[in-house]
């Protein structure tokens, strides 16, 4: 009997881990792009490399949105672009339901499945586009049992 963590929970936990690198004070988000059960890119929400971080300078808000922050999904897609990795036919695991702009970008990039952990201002038009394009939408659940499958103690000593 296979007792390993299920694929959806495994990839979502990777997104959660990436979210811990976020430099945004308002919401930490992580995203992992996967094709054929292999991670091809990951991202978290943060500033353009070399710019000030929200953690250091505070959020740069315009109309209630931080304009300094690049969203996790966009950072993951940009990583694919930077390193020449196609996103066509891939799926994304993201800690929070994608905003409208990220949804449009994911659809244009050829993402065929959106997996998310938490609802977050689920935009009505984003949901309409997801249905229009026949994109599979999957809300992943993580349980304490999923987390408990990682035996952190064996990794803590470093020996």
Compute the average pLDDT of residues 44-60.
Answer: 92
Mean pLDDT of 23-33: 93
pLDDT at position 115 is 98
Confidence of residue 15 (pLDDT cuts 50, 70, 90): very high
Q: What is the pLDDT of residues 76-127, one digit of tens each?
A: 999 999 999 999 999 999 999 999 999 999 999 999 999 999 999 999 999 9
Give the per-residue pLDDT at 29: 97
Record the pTM: 0.92
Q: Are 80 and 41 in contact (CB under 8 A)?
A: yes
- Average the pLDDT over 122-148 and give the result: 94
Q: Is 159 a catalytic residue?
A: no
Residues 6 and 21: their CA atoms lie apart, in Å, by 24
The tokens for 12 are 């979502």
Flag whether pLDDT at 32 surpasses 80: yes
- From the list 57, 73, 136, 151, the catalytic residue is 73
CA–CA dist 141, 39 (Å, integer): 19
């Amino acid at each position: 009997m296979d007792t390993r963590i299920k694929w959806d929970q495994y990839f979502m936990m990777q997104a959660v881990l990436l979210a811990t690198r976020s430099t945004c004070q308002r919401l930490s988000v992580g995203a992992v792009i996967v094709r054929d059960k292999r991670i091809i890119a990951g991202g978290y929400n943060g500033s353009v490399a070399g710019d000030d971080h929200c953690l250091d300078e505070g959020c740069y808000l315009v109309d209630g949105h931080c304009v300094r922050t690049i969203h996790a999904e966009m950072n993951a897609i940009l990583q694919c672009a930077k390193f020449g990795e196609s996103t066509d036919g891939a799926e994304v695991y993201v800690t929070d339901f994608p905003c409208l702009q990220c949804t449009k970008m994911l659809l244009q990039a050829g993402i065929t499945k959106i997996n998310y952990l938490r609802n977050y201002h689920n935009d009505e038009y984003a949901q309409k586009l997801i249905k229009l394009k026949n994109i599979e939408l999957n809300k992943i659940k993580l349980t304490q049992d999923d987390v408990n499958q990682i035996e952190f103690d064996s990794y803590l000593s470093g020996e």
